[in-house]
Amino acid sequence: MKQVYESLEGKDFEIVAVDIGEDRDKVAAYIAKGEYPFHVLLDSDKSVSKAYRVTSIPVSVFVDREGRIAYRKLGTMKEDEMRSVLESLVE
């Protein structure tokens, strides 16, 4: 995800990684290592997960500019697939 984000930097998009169920300090320590150059949301009350109907992880949800789900992938997503989806959304 980091490589895709960096390769498309400057385009009109945002990546938000949503963490479900992990301790705030653990997430903060991981972010401090520089692993995520994008936003990370700690969804401790699972409100975001519920809003986007996330029932299992990993899942990738791509939201368009109007806030609609444009693409959803359950399971691990390969870098080339992620790049393709993002490129289609920012065109």
Structure tokens at 59: 């899942």
Residue 74 predicted with pLDDT over 90: yes
* 82 burial level (CB within 10 Å; 0-12, 13-18, 19+): buried
Q: Taking the CA atoms of 11, 53, 56 and 19 in sequence, report the sign of the dihedral they define.
A: positive
pLDDT at 21: 82
Q: How do residues 23-50 score in pLDDT, each as one tens digit? A: 899 888 888 888 788 889 999 999 999 9
Residue ranges making up the domain that contains 34: 2-90
Length of the chain: 91
pLDDT at 83: 94
Q: What is each CA distance from 24 to 30, 35, 52, 82, in whole angstroms?
A: 10, 16, 22, 27
Give the rounded percent of residues in the chain with a pLDDT score beyond 70.
Answer: 100
**Of the given ranges (13-17, 19-23, 32-36, 80-84), which has the lowest mean pLDDT?**
32-36
Count of the separate structural domains present in the chain: 1
The CATH number assigned to the domain holding 76 equals 3.40.30.10
pTM of the complete model: 0.79
Mean pLDDT within 60-71:
91
